[in-house]
Structure formats: C-alpha cells, structure tokens
Amino acid sequence: MNKWFECKVKYDKQQQDGSVKMTTEVYLVDALSFTEAESRIILEIKPYISGEFEVDAVKHVKITDMFNVHDSNADKWYKSKVNLIAIDEEKGVEKRVGTTVYVKGSDIKSALETLVAGMDKGVSDYEIANIAETPILDVFEYAVIEKKPVTGENE
C-alpha cells in the first residue's frame, strides 16, 4: 500500500515580466517516511529549479487510490471523495465508506470520466460525493533510491 506525502517547495521564481516572486509549489510523493519524502522531493525537483529552494512542509495525506492517465493534455490533479456502498447483512441497511481518490485530467470533465472508468472496474457499488482541482503540480511514485557505496580516495 502506498504512503503519500504532500510536499510544499518554496523558491524564488522569475515571472514572465522579468520580476522575481517567492513561489510555493505542491507535489505528492510516495515514500516510506517523512524523511524519505523530503529527500525524494529534493532529488526530484533539484534539476528543475535554479538557485536556492526549501522544502517548506511535508504532510501525510491518506489516499485510497490514484488514477494517473498518461495523456499529454492531462496536467491537473483532482481530489475526489468516493463513497463505497455495502449492505450490512445483519441490519439490512446500506453502509457507506468514504475513500479519497486522486485523478489526473485536463479538466474536471476528463477527470470525472477517468474516475468513473476506474471505479467501474471495481466490484463495489459507489457514489461520487465530490471532485475538486488541487494545487498539486506533479506526483512522484515510489522508487528505491540507490546509494553509492563509500569508496577510497584512489577510486
């Protein structure tokens, strides 16, 4: 099961008019711990940011599922609340279990279509309670960080 962390990165970004403005960008990182999430986000964004930057915040977020479409037009992330519907056999009533699903799309319509297609593959009945755009710019799924062995001076 994935463990997701929302990482906020703060840096000075040059605007189109040439001025420099402090900017905070949000990313999702799949990591085992807060420490690893911070290390991973630094590794992932370092090639894209020139100059100084800081990881301003790392927060654990509970995500049940993620539908990442590989479409060049899909550049936004949407957070949706989906209620899974089950029947409580003993009481004879419907029971709803809330889950959080992140979906990538070019707009809310495409994200909703992707969400429905992904949810329809499941075995449970569901209802979509809401879907909203997030400030997340990119998602970095789990990858093992290879550490180089410590070597002598002559190597």
Which pLDDT belongs to residue 119? Answer: 94
Confidence class for position 148, pLDDT limits 50, 70, 90 = low
**Percent above pLDDT 90 for the chain:** 67
Q: Residue 91 sits in which domain range?
A: 62-135
Q: Are 12 and 53 within one domain?
A: yes
Strands 65-67 and 93-105: parallel
Sign of CA pseudo-dihedral 26, 31, 34, 39: negative
Supply the CATH number for residue 85's domain: 3.10.20
The predicted-structure confidence for 20-34, as pLDDT tens digits, reads as follows 899 999 999 999 999
Q: Are 80 and 95 within one domain?
A: yes
Which pLDDT belongs to residue 155? Answer: 46
List alpha helices for the chain, DSSP H: 34-45, 108-120
In angstroms, the CA 42 to CA 49 distance is 10
**Percent above pLDDT 70 for the chain:** 91
Are 54 and 11 spatial neighbours (Cβ–Cβ below 8 Å)? yes
Q: Are 128 and 106 within one domain?
A: yes
Which pLDDT belongs to residue 55? Answer: 96
pLDDT at 109 over 80: yes
In angstroms, the CA 73 to CA 23 distance is 24
In angstroms, the CA 13 to CA 32 distance is 30
pLDDT average, residue stretch 69-78: 89
Site of tokens 């297609």: 117
In angstroms, the CA 74 to CA 108 distance is 10
Q: Are 26 and 87 within one domain?
A: no
Q: Which of 35, 61, 87 is the last residue of a domain?
A: 61
30 located within any domain: yes
Site of tokens 């809330």: 98
The predicted-structure confidence for 137-147, as pLDDT tens digits, reads as follows 999 998 665 55
The total of other beta-carbon atoms located within 10 Å of residue 118's CB is 16
The predicted-structure confidence for 12-21, as pLDDT tens digits, reads as follows 988 889 888 9
Measuring CA to CA, how many Å separate 141 from each of 27, 109, 151? 11, 25, 30
Which pLDDT belongs to residue 151? Answer: 56
Q: Which two tokens stand for residue 105?
A: 């799309």
